[in-house]
Amino acid sequence: MNYKSSYFILTCLGFGFAFLYVPILSMVVFSFNASKLVTVWDAANSPTLKWYYALLNNEEVLDAAWISLKIAVINASGSVILGTLAGFGLARFSQFRGRFTLNAMTTAPLVMPEVITGLSLLLLFVALEQLIGWPAGRGITTMTIGHMTFSMAYVTVIVNSRLATFDTALEEAAMDLGARPLKVFFVITLPIIFPAILSGWLLAFTLSWDDLVISSFTSGPGSSTLPMVVFSKVRLGVSPEINVLATITITVVTLMIAGVSLWMSRMAKLDKAAA
């Protein structure tokens, strides 16, 4: 391609990325600011790590983070199972009863406003409790179910689009050679979609870790997640500890994404070398 980007496009890219990254970088910088005013730089005492110590000794935040972590891990694992099944079904079975409905049910959660999903899940849990006594009260279980319902839709899309780029030749060949469908799935299909499953797991984890609205509707007393604690703090204005939390989150996410994409590009190279 001998196309040269015009100055207009380059300027737009520059401003666009500045728009995306200035807020993130400002949180990182001010997390080292000594002043309680957060955005007014206290040159005499900064940079400092005092807010890092404060955050790591904040019981409320740590408890909430532990609850969030539990929910996120269960949610990611469950969503990956449900989403892989749905994505595989949609990509590989051209016709089955309920295909249209399944497709609609896995697309809608991606765009559904969270207040609607959250409210409707809560009303379901209340109605179920009245009818059959389960779930008894609300807490980690109900929040996890809520998170899985929208996370699995994302996993479905990722797995489905990964499978769409691979034709069925390998799977067909294995079956011609006498492998049973289940074996074909585990020996051929699963390795093909493994990168998609991994990204799906990480995405489901992040979606759950970040979720505020659905958690707020489906949580019970004593089970506040990290975003719920952050939200109640942030409503009162800026707080230096939240900047620290943001910096830690950004660092972890960046390292994770960089690691996974390096690993994936290496796998892609191996694939090419093998072909």
Partner 1 sequence: MRRVGVTGRGLVVALPYMWLLLFFVVPFVIVLKISFSDIDLAIPPYKPLLEWVGKNSLAIKLNFNNYAFLFTDRLYVNAFLNSIKVAFISTVLCLAVGYPMAYGIARAKPAVRNLLLLLVILPFWTSLLLRVYAWIGLLKANGVINNVLLWLGLIHEPLTMLYTPFAMYIGIVYSYLPFFILPLYANLEKMDWQLLEAAEDLGCRPWQAFYKITLPLSRNGILAGSMLVFIPAVGEFVIPALLGGPNALMIGRVLWDEFFSNRAWPVASAVAILLLILLVPFMMWYQSVQARESAGAR
Residue 75 Cβ vs partner 1, minimum distance, rounded to whole Å: 13
Q: Which is nearer to partner 1, 106 or 223 (CB)?
A: 106
Residue 195 Cβ vs partner 1, minimum distance, rounded to whole Å: 14
Residue 218 Cβ vs partner 1, minimum distance, rounded to whole Å: 11
Give phi and psi for 150, each to the nearest 5: -90, -30
What tokens does 9 get? 């496009």
Map the footprint of partner 1 across residues 8-37, applying CB under 8 A. Answer: 8-10, 12-13, 16-17, 19-24, 26-27, 30, 37
CA separation for the pair 218, 209 (Å, rounded): 15
Map the footprint of partner 1 across residues 116-175, applying CB under 8 A. Answer: 116-117, 119-121, 123-124, 126-127, 130, 145-146, 148-149, 152, 156, 161, 164, 168, 171-172, 175
Q: Which is nearer to partner 1, 44 or 131 (CB)?
A: 131
Question: Residue 62 in contact with residue 135, Cβ under 8 Å?
Answer: no
Question: Residue 187 in contact with residue 179, Cβ under 8 Å?
Answer: yes
Question: Residue 213 in contact with residue 146, Cβ under 8 Å?
Answer: no
CA atoms in the 13 A half-sphere facing the CB of 69 = 7
Segment interacting with partner 1, rule: CB under 8 A, options 49-57, 58-66, 112-120, 190-198: 112-120
Q: Which residues lie below 8 Å from residue 174, measured CB to CB, with a gap of 6+?
A: 183, 184, 187, 188
| DSSP code of residue 237 | -
CA separation for the pair 47, 102 (Å, rounded): 53
Q: Is residue 110 close enough to count as binding partner 1 by CB under 8 A? A: yes
Q: Which is nearer to partner 1, 140 or 238 (CB)?
A: 238
Map the footprint of partner 1 across residues 80-109, applying CB under 8 A. Answer: 81-83, 85-86, 88-89, 92-93, 96, 98, 101-109
Q: Is residue 263 close enough to count as binding partner 1 by CB under 8 A? A: no
What tokens does 140 get? 């980690």
Map the footprint of partner 1 across residues 165-224, applying CB under 8 A. Answer: 168, 171-172, 175, 181, 203, 206, 209-210, 212-213, 216-217
Burial of 57 (0-12, 13-18, 19+ CB in 10 A): exposed
Segment interacting with partner 1, rule: CB under 8 A, options 42-50, 57-65, 132-140, 235-243: 235-243
CA separation for the pair 221, 139 (Å, rounded): 7
Q: Which is nearer to partner 1, 20 or 136 (CB)?
A: 20
